[in-house]
Structure 1
Amino acid sequence: MIEPLTVYTLPNCMQCTMTTRALDAANLPYTVIDLTTDARATDLIHQFGYTTAPIVITRAVTWSGFQPDRIAKIAALRDHPALTDK
């Protein structure tokens, strides 16, 4: 089972919108955090060294920008036998 991802976004960010739409289409759970309203999140993102949104954080990987290939890989892993309880 894939744990929810965290997507740090900015208002009116096209890449943020494209990322959340791709996550929705892949049926991947995620939480959105608006960087304009959460100063602690902004500090965390700066510590990671990112300067552009969106920033997607998973347990295993973190990236910024719209990365449909990474979303597809996570979606493909979702039902992998080693990750399921079956």
Structure 2
Amino acid sequence: MNNIIVYSKNNCMQCKMTKRYLKEHNINFEEHNINKEPQYLDILKQQGFQSVPVVMPENSDPIVGFRPDSLKALAN
């Protein structure tokens, strides 16, 4: 199973929908909440991301926002 990291923040509807999709499809992930762990905000900014959620699969390109079409590929 790939290691998947989800960067999220509080009160973010797209973050909630992304995490729900992953859970419903039994896709394991590790969450980093930038409100609780602000050091991850700097990491995202350094990589050019300006919004969350950012889903970072180990072996493919990052997915920004709630993208069920892209998340579906992670279930395979």
TM-score by length of 1: 0.80
| Identical counterparts, % of pairs | 29
Compare CA radii of gyration and give the structure with the larger one: 1
1:62 partnered with 2:74: no
Which residue does the alignment assign to 2:5?
A: 6
Structure 1 residue runs of 5 or longer lacking an equivalent are: 77-86
Task: Return the structure number with greater helix share.
Answer: 1
Q: What SS does structure 2 have at the residue aligned with 1:38?
A: coil
Deviation at 1:4, TM superposition (A): 2.8
TM-score by length of 2: 0.89
Deviation at 1:47, TM superposition (A): 1.2
Structure 2 residue runs of 5 or longer lacking an equivalent are: none
Runs of 4+ with deviation above 3 angstroms: none
Aligned counterparts of 1:52 and 1:9: Cα–Cα separation in 2: 9
Q: In structure 2, what residue type is equivalent to 1:26?
A: H
The CA RMSD over aligned residues, in Å, is 1.1
